[in-house]
Amino acid sequence: MFWPLDEPGVAGNALTPHYREFGWASYSPLPDHPSLDDFRHAGIPVPQDAVRRRQVEAGASVGVGVVGLGFWWVNRRRHRIG
């Protein structure tokens, strides 16, 4: 979560992202005021997607760490008793 993001249109990290202007190009026509979904449908990377991906990756890493720590704790106690 605290690792710096190096993506176009976003600075900071996944916990405190700072969005800024980002450049894009599209071969498909876009509306005058495109939404984020319009950008996504045109295949243009959106900074919010990079932040969300990092948040999911960090959450998965924490989850795997907690489960691993739990298995270690249970096995440590089992070997101590027996």
Structural domain containing residue 49: 10-81
Domain count, the chain: 1
Residue 71 has pLDDT above 60, yes or no: yes
User: Residue 28: what pLDDT?
Assistant: 79
pTM: 0.71
d(CA 10, CA 45) in angstroms, rounded, equals 11
The answer to whether position 65 is within a domain reads yes
The answer to whether position 2 is within a domain reads no
The answer to whether position 48 is within a domain reads yes
Which of left, alpha, beta for 9 (phi over 0: left; psi -120 to 50: alpha)?
left
Q: Which of 56, 28, 32 is nearest to 40 (CA)?
A: 28
79 or 61, higher pLDDT: 61
Q: Which of 57, 45, 54 is nearest to 5 (CA)?
A: 54
User: Residue 62: what pLDDT?
Assistant: 93
Q: What is the pLDDT of residues 17-50, one digit of tens each?
A: 888 888 777 787 899 999 999 999 988 888 999 8
Residue 82 has pLDDT above 70, yes or no: no
The answer to whether position 33 is within a domain reads yes
